Structure 1
C-alpha cells in the first residue's frame, strides 16, 4: 500500500518543519514522536481553537523524560509518553491531576481504557494508542507458523541469521521474560540474570536489533521472522500480504502510549482543549486508519471497515483481550538493573 509510505514521508516533512521552530515563543507546546498524529493536526487544532500550538519531536521516551526531569516540565504543556513513563511523571509530581469535565471527549474511550493498571480512572494520563508485541513473519518463507517466543530466541537452523529483535530495553527484556514465564515487570535479580543469559544466547542468531526497519527487512526477504509491535507489523502487511502477525502462546505485554498534561504548564486550558481535540473520533480515528495502531477510542474504532480489519487482523484485537495481557509498569529503582542487563546483553560477544 504505497499510500502508507506517502503518508509517512508527509509526516516526516511536517515533523522537520516543526522541529525548526521548536520551543519558539508560542502558547502551547506539544511533544510527540514523529508521525504519530495527522501531519495537519496542529494546524487544524489552531484553526479550530484560536490557539497557537507548536509541535516538537522526541525520538524516544528516554529523550523526552530527560528533558522533563531536568526542567521539571517547564517549557512543555502536553507530552506523549508510554505508560511506564507517564507513571514516573506522576510519581515525580510532574503530571497534572486531570479534570475530566474539561475533556468531554474522554467519554469516547472504551470502559476498559479507564481500568489500566498504571492509572485507574485516567487520573493523570489519557491513553492514545495501545497494543501488543509479538512475532511478525513471512508466511511464504517460514515453514511452520511460529507460536512461541522460543521460535525467535532459539530459531531453527534455516531461520538463524534471518531474525531481528527490538532494541528498546523494556521490549527486548520482555521477550525473554515472557519466554521464561516471568512477569514483564520482573525485578528479581536471579530471574533477570536468567533472562540476560537467554538473550545473550539469542543474540548470536540475530540479523540485527531493529526498532524501525524490521518490517522493511521482511518485505525485502532479508529477514523472515521479527520481534514487532503489532502496528509496525501492519506496515509490512500493507506491502506484502504474506506477512502475518501472531502473539506467542506465552503471551504479550500490553503497551499503552498516553497523553500527559504537565503540572507546570502555563497553558492548562489550551492543553485540555488539545487533549479533547485528539479524542474527537475523527481525529483519533485518523491514527487508527493511517498509523495502523489500535486506539482506545470506541467511537473511532467502530468506524473501521470490515475490509480494513480483514487486511490488518490485529486491528481487530478487542479491549478485553488486550487487558488480558500484563501492562508494562514503572519498575522504580529496578530500572537501573534493567538498563545494566540490557547493556550486558548488547556488549556480549
Structure 2
C-alpha cells in the first residue's frame, strides 16, 4: 500500500518491534538471516521452513525501509541473506550492485506469479526481486458519517466544512506527496521541481484542515469516529472494515500509486542456494496465501489468490481487485536525486503553521 512508517504493509504498526538487533552467534548458527517487517510472515515460518527443507533461518525485523537500507548501505549488505523491501528500494539495491540475480531454475514456484507480476517496470522478468505483496493507496472513510462525495483527492485536501479537523494523511514522504501531486494531475514519480513545489504548497494549505498526520492508527480513529476520512493503504483500511462495516475504501478518480513489496537476495550472502529455496518456499501457493488472508493485502500469486475463501473479497472488496486492474495504477519508482526534493518539501509542509 510502502516507507518512513509503512511497516509495509499491513502489520500491527504500533507494536513494539523486536529483534532489531540480533546476536552474532545466532546469526552464525542459522542457514539464513532474513530481515522483514514485523508480522509480515507467519510466526511459525522458521519451523515450517525447517520442516520442509532442513534449513534454519533467523528472522530479524526492521521497522522501515529506511532503517534496513541504512544498514545494508553501511555494510555492503553483509550480515543479511534475504531482505524484504519496497520496490523503489529494491531498485536502489540493484543499482548499487547489492542485489543477487535470481537463480530461476532453483525457484520453480515463480510460475505461480501473475504475468503482470513478471512485467513490473522496475524489474521486468524478475531478474533480481520477487514481488511479495502489492496494492494501492486511496481514501478510507465512514460512509455513515461523511455526506459529501468521496471520489477525489480534493475531498481530503480541500474538505467540506463538516470534515475539517476530522481527516488524516500519511506522514511518509512518498505517499504524502503523492496525494498532492495526483490532485494536480501530476505523476507520483514527478521530478519537475516546479510541480513538486506546487504540490507542497497545496499540502501546506491542506494541513490547516487536518486532525493529524498518521501512518499507524488512522483506521482506529475511523472506528472511534475521531476521524471520518483518511488517506490509507488498501490493506490497512481493511483493518478498519473488520471493526466497522460502514468503513469504505475508494481510489480517487485522479488515480493512485501501485506499491509493491519485494524479496531480494543480497549479493554478499554466502548462502545463496538456501536463499533461493526460501523464496521458492514463500511462493508456494499455500504459504503465500497466508500473507493475503492474514495481512489483508493482495499477493501477486495466482493460485494463492484463487485458494482464498470467496467470502474474504466480499468483506474486503480490495481483496477482489484483479491483477490486471491493480497494475493500471502508477508504479512507484526510485526517484534518484529527486528524493531530496520530496524530503525537503515534506519537511517544509510539516514545519508550516
TM bucket by the smaller chain?
Answer: over 0.9
Show the 5 A alignment for 1:31-50. Answer: 31-50=35-54
Instruction: Tell me, yes or no, if the aligned pair for 1:22 and 1:55 is still in contact at 8 Å.
Output: no
Match in the other structure for 1:322: 326
Show the 5 A alignment for 1:46-65. Answer: 46-65=50-69
Task: Give CA-to-partner distance per residue, 1:77-118, whole Å, 9 cap, x none.
Answer: 100000000000000000011111111111100011001011
Show the 5 A alignment for 1:235-246. Answer: 235-246=239-250
- The alpha-carbon deviation at position 68 of structure 1 amounts to 0.3
Q: Against the structure 1 CA distance between its residues 19 and 189, is the aligned structure 2 distance closer, same or farther, given a 3 Å change threshold?
A: closer
Partner Cα separation in structure 2 for residue 339 and residue 231 of structure 1: 25
Partner Cα separation in structure 1 for residue 104 and residue 11 of structure 2: 33
Task: Give CA-to-partner distance per residue, 1:36-75, whole Å, 9 cap, x none.
Answer: 1111112211222111211111111111101100000000
1:276 aligns with 2:283: no
Match in the other structure for 2:267: 263
- The alpha-carbon deviation at position 20 of structure 1 amounts to 6.7
Instruction: Tell me, yes or no, if the aligned pair for 1:237 and 1:243 is still in contact at 8 Å.
Output: yes
Q: Secondary structure of the equivalent of 1:48?
A: helix
In structure 1, which of residues 76, 79, 90 is the aligned counterpart of residue 80 of structure 2? Answer: 76
Show the 5 A alignment for 1:84-103. Answer: 84-103=88-107
Instruction: Tell me, yes or no, if the aligned pair for 2:148 and 2:160 is still in contact at 8 Å.
Output: no
Show the 5 A alignment for 1:120-199. Answer: 120-199=124-203
- The alpha-carbon deviation at position 21 of structure 1 amounts to 4.1
Instruction: Tell me, yes or no, if the aligned pair for 2:152 and 2:254 is still in contact at 8 Å.
Output: yes
Partner Cα separation in structure 2 for residue 206 and residue 219 of structure 1: 17
Partner Cα separation in structure 1 for residue 210 and residue 15 of structure 2: 29
Q: Secondary structure of the equivalent of 2:201?
A: helix
Q: Secondary structure of the equivalent of 2:162?
A: coil
Match in the other structure for 1:3: none
Match in the other structure for 1:294: 298
Instruction: Tell me, yes or no, if the aligned pair for 1:22 and 1:54 is still in contact at 8 Å.
Output: no
In structure 2, which of residues 300, 303, 307 is the aligned counterpart of residue 303 of structure 1? Answer: 307
Partner Cα separation in structure 2 for residue 176 and residue 66 of structure 1: 28
Partner Cα separation in structure 2 for residue 266 and residue 35 of structure 1: 26
Q: Secondary structure of the equivalent of 1:211?
A: coil
Partner Cα separation in structure 1 for residue 21 and residue 69 of structure 2: 21
In structure 2, which of residues 253, 260, 264 is the aligned counterpart of residue 249 of structure 1? Answer: 253
Q: Against the structure 1 CA distance between its residues 46 and 317, is the aligned structure 2 distance closer, same or farther, given a 3 Å change threshold?
A: same
Q: Secondary structure of the equivalent of 1:123?
A: coil
- Which range moved further: 140-149 or 41-50? 41-50
- The alpha-carbon deviation at position 27 of structure 1 amounts to 2.2
Q: Unaligned stretches of 5+ in structure 1?
A: 1-6
Partner Cα separation in structure 1 for residue 68 and residue 248 of structure 2: 33
Partner Cα separation in structure 2 for residue 76 and residue 19 of structure 1: 12
Task: Give CA-to-partner distance per residue, 1:179-238, whole Å, 9 cap, x none.
Answer: 111010000000000000001111111111111111111011110000000000000001
Match in the other structure for 2:233: 229
Instruction: Tell me, yes or no, if the aligned pair for 2:11 and 2:40 is still in contact at 8 Å.
Output: no
Instruction: Tell me, yes or no, if the aligned pair for 1:215 and 1:232 is still in contact at 8 Å.
Output: yes
Q: Secondary structure of the equivalent of 2:163?
A: coil
- Which range moved further: 329-338 or 45-54? 45-54
Partner Cα separation in structure 2 for residue 261 and residue 51 of structure 1: 16
- Which range moved further: 136-145 or 237-246? 136-145
Q: Against the structure 1 CA distance between its residues 239 and 303, is the aligned structure 2 distance closer, same or farther, given a 3 Å change threshold?
A: same
- The alpha-carbon deviation at position 12 of structure 1 amounts to 5.8
RMSD, matched Cα: 1.6
